[in-house]
Amino acid sequence: MKESFNEFANDVFDALVAGKNAGGNLDSSSNVIISPLSIQSSLLYALMGADGDTAAELRNGLKLESDDRQQIAKEFQEFWKKNCIYGDKLTLRSVNRLFVNQTQTLKTDFKKLAEDYFLSEPETLKFADAVQATKRINDLVMNDTENKINHLLSPECVNGDTSAVLVNALYFKGKFEKPFTPESTMSDDFYVDKDNRIEVDMMYQEDKFKYADLPDLDARACQLPYEGSNISLLILLPKRTTGLLDLQHKLKSINLSDIERRMAIEDVEIAMPKFCLEFDLELKETLNELGISSLFEDSADLSRLFTTSSGQKISAAKHRGYISVNEAGSEAAAATYMKIVPMMLNMQKKTFKVDHPFLFFIRNSNVVFFAGRFMEPRRKTNPIEYAQKRSLTDSMIPETSLNSPRNSS
């Protein structure tokens, strides 16, 4: 199942950033943060109640070879136990929840799969009382994500005809193994494009990190590990200020694990902005691009879900991602509805200044927990501090002119 998770992560991220999704509002300048794992977990859960062509579409879209539901559920549970459970130094939590209309009865087989492998005991709600039903769902999601995902659903999302609501909430909080020192953070420029820049809080440090020059992608990569785990923040930085869209296109045929294998431990001077992103996505169009469509149509076959003989379909699928990256590390959440170091002269060190649009992934070798792109930061409003500190940041000289925003194209 490991490869299916990586393949699906590549497919869903590419379908999103390459298409006109997010309810038609996503354009090439949009910041993005999603959790492929959260989306895939929800779809795997839905697969347990699907049959016929709907189940076949889900298996194909999820890159699954087996059609044995119990085996798929068992492998998912084992995969999660092996790859996603850590100690006290890092928090990674996935919660599957199924809310069922009080007018519906779940089939025994589906309920057993949910309880045994997805650790989810379905909860009955009165969807005719939309306000109270959505409040219950939102409160649980908010609790599951440490208050990072709020108001996921509005009362308009459900009504008396709603059969069920499926939610997966994924929450991550990790400290960098080599944290940045807050005292070294200062204001600097982030180049949105060749002509426009925005002032940001730029974090600085120098240490040994995994690094790679990727000439075939016209980009460079640096990886920041999280303490007490095999999870890292991988940053892919185009060499050109305006090179992100080209990088996205080239990345379609490249596995992130292949990039990691090309990386080596180097002395790296890193500068990267603090950032916080939240992103809402209507999943239907994205999933359609992956060949998953009948789930939302009148022809949907969810006959393994309820005892009733009437047809059921998924009317909406919504995903919200959140990430905050600061000196200590990262905190990220998603819900699917559905050091100061001595400065010394080192001629061999690499300079990795993240001062223009980039891609980022929170992942280990087996799974992508979060994936996103950072296109434009929020504007700061403290020009005095910026003027006082700006000259200090000029000491970071890029390796080549290609890495300098002022010379990029």
Q: What is the mean pLDDT of the chain?
A: 83
User: Alpha carbon 50 to chain centroid distance?
Assistant: 26
For residue 343, is pLDDT > 90?
A: no
Max avg pLDDT among 84-93, 160-169, 208-217, 279-288 = 208-217
For residue 201, is pLDDT > 50?
A: yes
Mean pLDDT of 20-32: 61
The Cβ of residue 191 has, within 10 Å, a number of other Cβ atoms equal to 18
The Cβ of residue 374 has, within 10 Å, a number of other Cβ atoms equal to 23
Indicate the fold that domain 2-175+277-324 takes in CATH. Antithrombin; Chain I, domain 2 (3.30.497)
Lowest mean pLDDT among 121-125, 183-187, 376-380: 376-380
Indicate the fold that domain 182-275+339-407 takes in CATH. Alpha-1-antitrypsin; domain 1 (2.30.39)
What pLDDT is stored for residue 347 in this prediction? 54
Q: β-strands 264-273, 275-282: how paired?
A: unpaired
More confident residue, 381 or 117: 117
Q: How confident is the model at residue 19 (pLDDT cuts 50, 70, 90)?
A: low
Tens-digit pLDDT profile for residues 121-148:
889 999 899 999 999 999 999 999 999 9
For residue 310, is pLDDT > 80?
A: no
Mean pLDDT of 384-400: 37
Show me where the domains of the chain are located: 2-175+277-324, 182-275+339-407
Residue that the structure tokens 């869903």 belong to: 12
Structural tokens at position 183? 């005292």
What pLDDT is stored for residue 338 in this prediction? 54
For 327-342, give the DSSP string: SSEEEEEEEEE-----
Tens-digit pLDDT profile for residues 221-266:
999 999 989 999 999 999 999 999 999 989 888 889 899 999 999 9
For residue 309, is pLDDT > 60?
A: yes
User: Alpha carbon 210 to chain centroid distance?
Assistant: 21
Q: Of 197, 204, 203, 200, which is closest to residue 187 (Cα–Cα)? A: 200
Residue pair 255/374 in contact by the 8 Å Cβ criterion: no
Q: How far apart are CA 88 and CA 174, in angstroms?
A: 10
Write down the pTM of the prediction: 0.84
| Amino acid found at 365 | S
Structural tokens at position 226? 């999280």
Give the SS3 label for residue 20. coil
